[in-house]
Structure formats: C-alpha cells, structure tokens
Amino acid sequence: MFKYDIVENSIIDVLNKSFLMEFESIYKSIRIKGKGCLIEYISAFFRKWYYSALIEDTIITPNCIAEYGAGAEYVYPVIKSKTINRIGSLNISNIKYSLDNHPICFDFRGLVENFKNGIALDADFKMDFCDIKKIDNITNYDSNYITYLFMLGMDLGYIEKMPSVGVSMYCTTGTADELDSISNKDLLIKLTEAAIKISASFLSDDFMGENYIVTESVIREWLKNPEPIDKIFEEAYGEIALEISDSILIEDMDEMERLITAKTYARGIILDKWFLTPFSYYFRFIDTTYMYEFSFYDEMMFLINAVETNKVFKEETIIDSAVYSPCTMYKLSKLGSDYFEIEYEDKIPYIFKNMKAEDILDAAIGNYEDGRFKILNAYEPEFDVYNLRITDAENDLWFNLEVKENMTLDNLHVYITNIFQTPVIICQSYRFYKLPASPFTEYTPRFMEMRGPHTEDNTVKGLLDIGEECYYEVVLLSKSDKLESRTINIKLKDIIRNKSGVPYPRIGEVSPEIKMKFK
C-alpha cells in the first residue's frame, strides 16, 4: 500500500515552529468576529509564508533555507488542522516527495475511494469538512486542495455526478477500479496531464481574455522554462489595453490605467489559483518566491474581511482575492526537473557560501536588526554602484538614480517609467541607444523582434562608462488613443566602488516637478 514518508529535520522543524508561534500569537490577539476562518484557510497562509522573503527584496524564504540549508532533498512541510474554525490542533509534517512515492497520488487514491458511497458537494464543489476528515490519512485538509483533487477525478473519469433530487451527489465510476493496478508513477503522469489541461482551460477563460488562448503547450513551456511573472503578464497587458480601448471611450488616462490595473490584479489571482499554487504547493514541480515579507496581521485581517464580505455578496472571488496572489518569480524544483527530465540548475545562493544555514535561519527569523544587516552584507558579492542622471528635457524633469552594475536595461526601463509615472502597462515599444547610431548601439526588448542586442541580456555596466551618455526612447498610448514617443537622456556621473547589501536601486536628487510614489 502506498504511504507517504514523514521525516524529521532540525532546520525545517525550526521554520515550522516559527510559523506556528507567530500565527498562534497573532490569532489569539485578534478580537473581532469571524476570525475562525483563519483556521479553515491555514494552508493558504502557510503556503504564502513558506515562499515569502524573510527579509525584503531577497530570496531568503523558508523554502530557500530548507532547500539549501537543511540537507533534505525533496522534503516539504505540509500543514493541517483537525478543526475548521478554532485554533485547535495545528500540525505540520515534513513529507518526502518523489516521482514513485508522491503524496498527491496517495491523497487522490484516498479521495476517490471515499466517493464510493457517494458524497454531496455544494455548487462550488466544496466538500463538508467532516467528509474531508474521513479520507484516510490525507496529507492536507484544505478545502481548495480537496476540490482540486475532485476536479482531477472528474476529468480523468474516476468520479461522476449521480442522479439526485435537491442535492448534488457524486460517486466513483467503474473506471476507478483501474487505480488498484496503476503504478504511482503512472498515476502521477495522469494527474499532471489532467492538471495541465485544467490550468490551460481556466487561464484561457479568465486570464488573457477572449483574444488569447493559453494552450496546454504554453503551460508546459511555462513549467519547463520558467520566466519572471512580469514576462507572463507582458502579453496580457496588451490584451487588456485593447479590450478597454475597444469597448470604452476613456478620455482620462488615469482612469484607463486604473481599469487596466484592476483587470491585471484579477488575472493575477487566476494565474496563482490555476497555475502557480497547483504546480508548486500540490505537485511541488516549481518553487515560487515572493520577494516581500509576509505580514501575518495584514493577511489575517484581509481574509477575515473577505470572508465576511462574501457572506453578503455570495461571490467566491472575494475570498480568492485574499487567498491567492501571484509570486515575484518561480523556478523548476529538483522534483520538477526529474519529472520533465531537465537538468536541474543548482545555483546555490551566494549567502550560503558565506554563512552557515543555522546562522542564516537564526538571523532571518530572529527579527533583530543586527541579524538582518549581517544577512544583507553576506547576501551577494560586493558590486559597483552606477550613479545615473536621468533627464526628460522636454518636460523639464530629472532625477538621479543609483543602480547596481548588473541591473539589466529591461529593469532600468521599468524604474524610469515608474518614476516618471509613465503608463508602462500600455507601453508599445522602447529602446536604449547611443550615438552614433548603429545596429550595435541600439538595445531593444525581445518582443520587438529587432536585430541587435536585447535589453534583457545587457546591463548598465556594459552600456556606459563614466561621462558617457545614452538615450532611452519609449512609445506609448496617449490620451487621444494615439501613439506618441518620449526621449530621455541618461548620463553616468560616477561609479561607487565595492558596495554590498541590497538597498539598490536608490533615488538621489530629483526635480521638484516629479510626483513620485515611494513606499
């Protein structure tokens, strides 16, 4: 009989204990109605925390510490509670994952077995918590996870709807008998293929819009060759802008940006729910990273408010907005590399070459400034800082920007547009160029399909020497729905040698006319 393995690991156990202590402390301090929902969605809280930076703007997440410091390959912690609405008994197990012994296969077999006598589900395919607890030794009581397994069972033909009056009943089919003879590795393949189809279906319907279909091959490409989340959204931005400009006459550019941002936010939730969460937290094929610190209190209050609001409006997406949010980046995990037969790029973070895992863990969860400073100084090698003067002469705007030598021109483009409040989400094209102009001195993003160097592959260091200057030109959609260009001068003032830590990019002096938005 297939059985998942639970292992002990001192470093992962310390991380788990840290989460439980923080969660329980804040939970007990909250005195408002409805806080019981925090236990029902404990899995979502743990997932976000596990993949979120313990120190802002670093990749030092609990997952990162577990992967590179715990010395336990393919081991992931999973949380569950025996109650649904009170602090009760929270438990975190460190579970061993492998292609031949994958917990999702065990959970799936148990779920299908549980449907033999029929189970009633609500309109959103949610199972009652008392029925979830009957599933033999399941790893995770999270209702969203159970619903996802149910959807896999329906798509694979192992579960079907029963004729019934006044209630939605589902039971296993005759096809489910094959689960007794199928190997765990073969079942994992079937589940993965079904998951890819589900992901493609929901992203095609809700993520990109009716003009863009997310095929199964696109999902496989996203899995095998991970990109920054912004890259995945890049084409979506264009689709959203077209939808709004084609259907609504908007004279106010700020209003158009607000609508685009709202739609983008909604689609980010969809991306997390049907792609990032299933393939990271359920299958463990990818490791996600949120490069911002997880705030227990803020996330708790956000969820309580969403659940209480949903009681009035009866709209499940309200709760989804508190449970799901796209990460900053993701990469193929070791398990995912094994599954897709791709060589794993084991790029050990620089900090693990300079600090012991125990010291990193102590400094990261200790929440004291000396420890954080120690991590920031050991986080990466020393680097040079380039001090840039960026000028929009036509509009009499300028600012100084200090950036790391390895900042890509693609990222520099984003910072310039943010500071000048350029609507980057409807940017049509942009380029950096030096004079005299030639194919070798013009840098364009890959989506423009131009010959010559690309902004994603070239850095500030490779572009400028002290005293040199270049030009940044961006083409965007104007208030009158026409394309207009903007040219900005960039000059390298000086280079600050041998810095460390991660406080860059950093704004220096600015012209008084610039209205910037800083955290």
- Sign, CA torsion 109/112/113/119: positive
Place of tokens 């094959």: 178
Which one, of 95, 183, 88, lies nearest residue 140 by Cα?
Answer: 95
Token pair, residue 356, equals 């012991």
Bridge partner residues of 91 (DSSP) = 80
- Sign, CA torsion 6/9/14/15: negative
ω before 436 within 30° of 0 (cis)? yes
Burial class (CB in 10 A: 0-12, 13-18, 19+), 472: buried
Which one, of 135, 129, 78, 81, lies nearest residue 107 by Cα?
Answer: 135
On whether the CB atoms of residues 9 and 75 are closer than 8 A, the answer is: yes
Between CA 40 and CA 143 the distance in angstroms is: 8
With left for phi above 0 and alpha for psi between -120 and 50, is residue 342 left, alpha or beta?
beta
Bridge partner residues of 119 (DSSP) = 170
Helix or strand holding residue 442 (H, E): strand 442-443
pLDDT of residue 264: 72
Between CA 40 and CA 23 the distance in angstroms is: 13
DSSP-derived secondary structure letter, 485: E
Query: What's phi and psi for 4, nearest 5 deg?
Result: -75, 155
With left for phi above 0 and alpha for psi between -120 and 50, is residue 324 left, alpha or beta?
beta
Q: Quote the Cα angle for 420-425-431, to 5°.
A: 65
On whether the CB atoms of residues 295 and 239 are closer than 8 A, the answer is: no
pLDDT of residue 259: 66
Which one, of 87, 84, 64, 88, lies nearest residue 76 by Cα?
Answer: 64
With left for phi above 0 and alpha for psi between -120 and 50, is residue 125 left, alpha or beta?
left
Query: What's phi and psi for 405, nearest 5 deg?
Result: -60, -25
pLDDT of residue 517: 45
Which one, of 296, 340, 361, lies nearest residue 67 by Cα?
Answer: 361
Query: What's phi and psi for 360, nearest 5 deg?
Result: -65, -45
* Single-letter residue type at 147: T
Query: What's phi and psi for 178, nearest 5 deg?
Result: -70, -15
Own/partner long-range contacts of 121-130 (Cβ < 8 Å, ≥24 apart): 121/150, 121/168, 121/170, 122/168, 123/168, 124/316, 125/150, 125/151, 129/40, 129/84
Between CA 51 and CA 134 the distance in angstroms is: 30
Between CA 117 and CA 123 the distance in angstroms is: 20
Per-residue tens of pLDDT for the chain, all 519 residues? 457 889 999 999 999 999 999 999 999 999 988 898 999 999 999 999 999 999 888 899 999 999 999 988 999 999 999 888 888 789 999 999 999 999 999 999 999 999 998 999 998 899 999 999 999 889 999 999 999 999 999 999 999 999 877 788 999 999 999 999 999 999 999 999 999 999 999 988 755 555 567 889 989 999 999 987 877 776 555 555 555 555 554 455 566 666 666 777 788 898 999 999 999 999 999 999 999 999 999 999 999 999 999 988 888 789 999 999 999 899 999 999 999 999 998 888 999 988 899 999 998 888 677 888 888 888 888 899 999 999 988 888 889 999 999 999 999 998 888 787 654 445 678 899 998 877 778 999 988 888 789 998 999 999 988 889 999 998 876 655 667 788 999 999 999 988 887 778 888 888 887 655 443
* Single-letter residue type at 236: A
Alpha helix positions (H), 115-171: 129-132, 143-155
Q: Give the chain's end-to-end CA distance (angstroms, integer).
A: 53
pLDDT of residue 252: 56
* Single-letter residue type at 370: D
- Sign, CA torsion 243/247/250/255: negative
ω before 505 within 30° of 0 (cis)? yes
3-class secondary structure, 133: coil
On whether the CB atoms of residues 244 and 259 are closer than 8 A, the answer is: yes
Bridge partner residues of 510 (DSSP) = 399
On whether the CB atoms of residues 345 and 299 are closer than 8 A, the answer is: no
Alpha helix positions (H), 207-295: 216-224, 229-247, 253-271, 277
